[in-house]
Amino acid sequence: MEINSVLRRILMCATVALFAAGAGAAAVRGQETPKGEKPKKEEEPRRVKGDKNPTAEQVAETVVLVYGSRSGLHQIRRTGVERGKITRTAADGRPEEISYERTFKRGETFEKDKVRLDQRLSTIQYSLVFNDGRVTGLLRGTPFTPKQEDVTQMLTERVHGIEALLRYKETGATVKYNGKENQKGLDLWVLDLTNKENRSTRYYISSKTGRILWLEYEDAAAGATPVRYKRSFHDYRVVQGTLVPYRSVLYEGDRQVEVSQVMTVTYGVKMDDSLFAAQAASFEP
């Protein structure tokens, strides 16, 4: 593992992120990193230097820095709109394609985030809204109680996702370094994150780039045998100075069950709280 190479890549990503933060949260589409004057110096997080055995915090802070820095992510990703397609594979092998639009507004804390997920299937179009810790369904503007499956999927993406690691200090989650591994020629840091509800996610992070390549977790209905899930991340691109995987694949055991493809993503979009209104028929986890 070339530690110097890691630092060069990290510092390059940090410079890009800091410039974007200084430019403000302008709603600019595109995938190219803007070039210009050098940004002002910001606080220096702990990073992996010459340590052969880094601490959990060093690995976690390296990831945060690579994805855009804590201050950069906070300023740029206050609001955003992501559009794409999801292909899910049913138990009988039949694929189902879903067009989606995910709109979010960052709250004062992780729990106070507002998220709206509009989905268009072949037979129906509806929305799921996460607000005030509840998930509400909306069909043609009318609230309804969503299926448990839909609620679980929406909450799982928040608990077992990249954002959970990027905001681990904010949520009070703990991190544990589980050493290094080499899989398929890749040198990896293995990091466990456990949130305040004692739900754990294991992240496999490239020690060369600081990017999350995949994550694993277990989940199960009450009384059922836990099922192991894996979500891998691909096609990383720079969007407004922050790092975004445009494609992810979800596995249930050894079976591929979902492919998510981002088409466009824009941060810094002006939006009103009424977009996340959910007055009734909500499910509280």
pLDDT at 223 (0 to 100): 56
52: number of CA atoms within 13 Å, CB side?
Answer: 0
pTM of the entire structure?
0.81
pLDDT of residue 133: 84
1-285, CATH topology level: outer membrane lipoprotein receptor (LolB), chain A (2.50.20)
Q: 48: pLDDT confidence band, cut at 50, 70 and 90?
A: low
Per-residue model confidence (pLDDT) at position 221: 61
**Average pLDDT score, the chain:** 83
Quick: pLDDT tens for 125-166: 999 999 988 899 999 888 999 998 889 889 999 999 999 999
| Longest Cα separation, the chain | 58
- Domain ranges for the chain, please list them: 1-285
Query: Between vectors from CA 99 to CA 96 and to CA 101, what angle results, nearest 5°?
Result: 145
Is 79 within 8 Å of 240 (Cβ atoms)?
A: no
Q: With a cut of 70, say whether residue 262 has pLDDT above it.
A: yes
**Residue 266: partners with Cβ closer than 8 Å, 6 or more residues away:** 27, 28, 29, 80, 81, 239, 240
Lowest model confidence (mean pLDDT) among 53-67, 160-174, 266-280: 266-280
Each residue of 144-154: pLDDT tens digit? Answer: 999 988 898 89
Question: What percent of the chain stands above pLDDT 90?
Answer: 63
